Structure 1
Amino acid sequence: MYSSILLNKSRLIAACILIFMSGNSDAWASKINAPDLVIIHLNNALIATMKLGSASSFQERYKKLYETVSKSFNFNEIARFSLGGSWYKLSTQERHQFIQSLKDYSVANYAVHFDHYSGQRFTPPVSTSKNDHQAIVKTALISPNSGQKNTFSYLLRQRNGRWQIINVVTDGVSSLAMQKAELTSLLKREGFKALLNKLNDYYTNASHS
């Protein structure tokens, strides 16, 4: 549909956090650890957006997801990891521009693809602490029609008391690793402006579709 990096189905899935439930009570939520809650809050926003259906506009879905996606992911860290050593060659202004473009692209990607709900179900998250500042949260998506199962493993990191997503591994494939390979390659081939344009064009095209 659009010429964009990270657009095929496997990459989309790798970028996405899956939904397993909504409407959690305060009593239930109080028993859930902080990394799991990050996933739950994002999942609830995504399922609510899906239930708006394809009749809703891209902008409606984008606005509904923007705050939650922004809070759930640590885009500063993701941006730095995605560009590797090239990150340190960017000016402060260029870093800010890249972070914002990556965030806009990510939210737009959700808004484009999470536009309908057809009864999918998700397994509850199961978390494992790597240490006091890192945790892995796992879940799986079960599609009711095909019975297909995809596994998802989310790496979250705590900084200043706040847990945020750093990476998603889908069926053993790291979204951050794929993203780094594509973005650094594009940056080296075509330069920083082309990199921003590639990300920004996806949002622009989606908003006019």
Structure 2
Amino acid sequence: MRLPICLCLLLFMMPAAAEPASASVERLHAALLESMRGGVQMSCAQRLQLLDAAVGDSFDVAGLARLVLRRHWASLDRRQQATFVELLRRNIGLNYAQHFARHAGERFETTGETAVETAADGQRRVSARLLAADAEPVSFDYVLTPSGDSWRIVNVFADGVSDVALRRSQYDSVVGRQGVAALLEQAAAQNEDLLRRCNQASRTGESG
């Protein structure tokens, strides 16, 4: 009788299964829709508070930073790495705040989840669409990596265009020509410009 009892105890002690990768994506989408529905009643500061939290919950920003800088990552000291990760996190939130600030009936639809066969760390790809009554659907493909019992986004494809590839091209050019210090300065300046636009849009009722 010992064996069945032991088996029951083992089953009871096993950790709960990890949530699907799509759950992380859908939490992000819920925050984006909340930002859109807030419209002109939501200030820039309120929108960023919402979206910064969503980015922190859904993205592996440190992993994304390493991906976009590639060989340049090792040339940053620890303080510079931490600064770049924070600038990147802020940049993602600011970009979402600019583009998801008004709602006209749009909704997100998750269309699939598959394994990334070329990845060695169990990555998943989640596909989704942003649907609107008066525009063509926008397709999104998210690449997520496991993180404990959940998943974190490390790349986003919008209509087939990779965010990582775009950022790599931009950052490689800056670091190659001007160095790491210039990269951090330009990233901070870009965030300041996005913040200015966010505040201006809140005052005028416009969106990016």
Q: TM-score, normalised by structure 1?
A: 0.78
| CA distance in structure 2 between the partners assigned to 1:41 and 1:114 by the alignment | 15
Per-residue Cα deviation, 1:83-127 (whole angstroms, up to 9, x for no partner):
110111111111111001111111111112211101113223411
Contact 1:35/1:137 (CA < 8 Å) preserved in 2?
yes
Matched, 1:44 2:18: no
> Map of 1:4-153 to 2, 5 A cutoff?
33-130=19-116, 133-146=122-135, 148-153=136-141
| CA distance in structure 2 between the partners assigned to 1:206 and 1:183 by the alignment | 18
Rg (Cα) greater in structure: 2
Letter in 2 for 1:86: H
Which residue of the partner structure matches residue 157 of structure 1? 145
The Cα RMSD (Å) is: 1.9
Which is richer in helix? Answer: 2
Contact 2:33/2:107 (CA < 8 Å) preserved in 1?
no
Structure 1 unmatched runs, 5+ = 1-31
| CA distance in structure 2 between the partners assigned to 1:206 and 1:157 by the alignment | 28
Which residue of the partner structure matches residue 185 of structure 1? 173
| CA distance in structure 2 between the partners assigned to 1:98 and 1:207 by the alignment | 17
Detail structure 1 runs of 4+ shifted over 4 Å in the superposition.
none
Contact 1:59/1:207 (CA < 8 Å) preserved in 2?
no
1:199 is aligned, of 178, 182, 187, to 187
Give the SS at the match of 2:186: helix
Cα 1:135/1:200, change in 2 over 3 Å: same
Seq. identity, %:
28
Which residue of the partner structure matches residue 173 of structure 1? 161
**Matched length:** 177
| Structure 1 residue 77: Cα displacement | 0.8
Contact 1:135/1:155 (CA < 8 Å) preserved in 2?
yes
| CA distance in structure 2 between the partners assigned to 1:179 and 1:142 by the alignment | 26
Letter in 2 for 1:161: D
| Structure 1 residue 206: Cα displacement | 3.7
Structure 2 unmatched runs, 5+ = 1-17, 201-208
| Structure 1 residue 64: Cα displacement | 1.4
Contact 2:113/2:126 (CA < 8 Å) preserved in 1?
yes
Which residue of the partner structure matches residue 24 of structure 1? none
| Structure 1 residue 195: Cα displacement | 1.4
